[in-house]
Every structure is written in C-alpha cells, then in structure tokens.
Amino acid sequence: MPSICFYFQVHQPFRIKNYSFFDIGNDHFYEDDEKNRVVLNKVSEKCYLKTNQKMLSLIRKHKGKFRISYSLSGTVIEQLEIYRPDVLQSFVDLAETGCVEFLAETYYHSLSYIYSKEEFTRQVKMHAEKIQKYFKQKPKVFRNTELIFNNELASFIEKMGYKGILCEGVDRILNGRSPNHVYQPKGTSKIKALLKNYRLSDDIAFRFSDVNWTEFPLTADKYASWVHKIAGNGEVLNLFMDYETFGEHQWESTGIFDFLEHLPAEIMKHKDFNFLTPSEVIDKYPVRDTYDVKDFTSWADAERDLSAWLSNSMEQEAIQRIYSLEEKVLATGDADMISTWGKFQTSDHFYYMCTKFWSDGDVHKYFSPYDSPYDAYIYYMNAFSDFEASINDFKPKKVPAKKNSKKLVAAIEPVAPVKRKK
C-alpha cells in the first residue's frame, strides 16, 4: 500500500533593516520590525490561516485518514507569538487532531551544523522545547535547514536520538534509483532517510500556475493519476514543499485551494493508497537501499547544494564572521545578546546575498527585501560591526542582591535566586 507523505516548511526570518554605516555605535537594534510585521500579516492572511483551515477541514472530512507534517522554525514561532497568536493557535488546533506531526530543525533556520556542532546541538534542543511547549509533541524526525544533508549529519542526528531525517532525492546520487522508497544513510545503523520526490513536489510548488507548462492546467484527478503510477514501483511518495505554496506563491486565484480540497479524495480513490506522517512511514516500511551522500546537498536551486548561501565571497565572509563570535557571545551569558547572535545566523541573510543569475537569480530576488545582493551584504555587515563592538564592550549589568545579602548577581538569564541566611 503506497503512502503519501506531505511535509511543509513554515519559516520567516527576522529581516535586518537598512542599517547604514552611520548607525554603527548609535543604534543597537537591527531588525526591520515593520517589514517583519507586514510580511507576516500578508502571508498569514493569504496562506497560513486559509491553508490551516483547509487542512483541518480535510482531516475532519476524511476522518483522520488525511495526515500531514510541518516544521516551524523558531523564528517564525517567535513572530507568530508577537504579531499573530491567532495563526499560532490554528497550528495548535491542527496538532490536537492527532493527524499532524511536527518535526525538529535548527531553531534559527541556520547553517550551524557546518560551522559549529555545539551551536547546532543547542539550537536543535531549543527548537524541540518550543515544539513541545505549543504542540505537545517531542519531535522524532529531523529536517535540517533547507534539507541540507550528508552522511555525517545523518550519523550525528542518529546519535541525538532521532529515528528519521528528511532530505532531497538528488538524481546524481540516486543514479537511476527511485526516491519512492525508505533509505538508510551510509554510516548509520538505525536512522532512516525520507527522500523528496522533487518532480511531483515541484509540479505543485512551482509549476501549478505556469500557463506555458505542457500539463497546465493541473487538476486533482490528473495529479492523482500520476501519483497512482508509483503503485508497484515504490512504497512512499514524499511531497515536500514550502507552506507558502498555498495562497502566496500560488495565489488563490490560480485554483490552488480547490486543487487541495479535491486531492486527498482523488488519491484515495485508489484503495491501495493512504496518507502517513514521516514517523508513521518510518515505522511502517523497511529500508530498501543505502543513500550515500558525501558532500552536502539541499533542496535549493538547480544545483541542490550549498551554493544558494555560500557561492560568493560576500556570503562566505558574512557567515564566517558571525560564527567567529561564538565563544565571546556565549561567554556573556546574556540572553538578549545570544538571541541576537542566533538571529544573525538565519540562512536567509546569506541567501539574499547570492549573486546567481538566470532562473535561480529570479527566485532569490523574489524573496529578498533588498534592492540587490550587495545591499543585503552592506546592511548585514554594518549591523554585524555594531554587534561585534557591543560584544567586545559588554559588561554584565549588576543588580542589587536581596536584603540581608551583600552580594551582587549578574543580570543574566537564568539568574539563580539569592537565599536568605537564617
């Protein structure tokens, strides 16, 4: 019985404002609050609320047979806490159905695994605590930022106790094999890899409204007929995509919500097909082969590597410099400093600095809040310079101790209570 595994990425960065050279030393707040609020509200109205309502309706309509999964970055959860608690509640409502799985990832949607295993571990644990707080789930399956993956990462995640990991089904690594099976990352003993079927995923995420596409218009029954072809040739179809596919990248006027409304029923017309979450797929199906990924892969751009974030000297300098502050930042013990440093690590900042052209360049430009990659770099590095100076000048604030004690305690999170002497 082939299973459909739907996974959606939900992420918003804390964007850096147009921070000029003259702001250095004078302005220690780097975020573009207005831009963050405007973007989140727009996406919430066009995508998050409508799609969550649709997903909840489909779960109820199909009496729990329609099952899906999400990863919400720590940064999007923080923004929802600030600006749109109603949207956050709508995700909680989905979690309460028992038909939705929430996955683990890095809290700041960062590339931390590549630069600091310690910071990576800290962020994954932070994120798991956030997911537990709101959705009452302890994540069992991991997805790294933008599906960045290799053998070493899979082994590391296995040792952290996760039973599954998501990744891109890259043609050059599959070498003729199908992504529609469960794989074992090379060098691991227990963890299983679920590979994105990028062709069928991208038919929805990217090609759905393309009037020049030979398959346009895409209807639910047509798409279901393609899905049914994997019967006998695979056990799981992993459809992974940005959640903003629904209503934001593919506007409501394209018919994307009508497509989503009818898709589960069309797929389940074939009695052998069902929907499962990643954990359920891992529990149900055996490993069929080894997936051997020596160099990092991702789901970004045509190359499906790290070039979206690390292909030019601007990106490389910016990311190396922010990680160079790790020891100093953590030594402050200051929660605000550490949080700001974490937000500087978000992969989007470096994505905006990418100077690729052709089709991938258009995608980068679409997501960027800046006029050019060079502006993204300049504003980032200006803000970084101020932050670095603040770290170098940092002195823990002192607060008076409780009565009957002459000691002072540093105003650092968390602060241990000062006990009275009896």
Query: Per residue in 178-223, pLDDT tens?
Result: 999 999 999 999 999 999 999 999 999 999 999 999 999 999 999 9
Choice among 146, 158, 235, 388 that is catalytic: 146
| pLDDT tier for residue 358 given thresholds of 50, 70 and 90 | very low
pLDDT surpasses 70 at 230: yes
CB proximity list for 372: less than 8 A, separation 6 or greater: none
Tens-digit pLDDT profile for residues 386-409: 999 999 999 876 655 554 433 333
- Is 146 an annotated catalytic residue? yes
Q: Which residue has the higher pLDDT, 240 or 360?
A: 240
Predicted TM-score (pTM) of the model is 0.92
- Residue-wise pLDDT for 110-119, tens only, equals 999 999 999 9
| CATH, range 3-291 | 3.20.110.20
Q: Which pLDDT belongs to residue 398?
A: 61
DSSP 134-180: HH-----EE--GGG-B-HHHHHHHHHTT-SEEEEE--HHHHTT--SS
What pLDDT score was predicted for residue 402? Answer: 52
Q: How confident is the model at residue 362, as a pLDDT?
A: 56
- b vs e for 304-342, b when ≥16 Cβ sit within 10 Å of the residue's Cβ? bbbbbbbbbebbeebbeebbebbeebeebbbeebbbbbb
Does the pLDDT value for residue 62 go beyond 80?
Answer: yes
In this predicted structure, the answer to whether residue 128 has a pLDDT above a threshold of 70 is: yes
Model pLDDT for residues 137-147, shown as the tens digit of each residue: 999 999 999 99
pLDDT for 366 equals 64
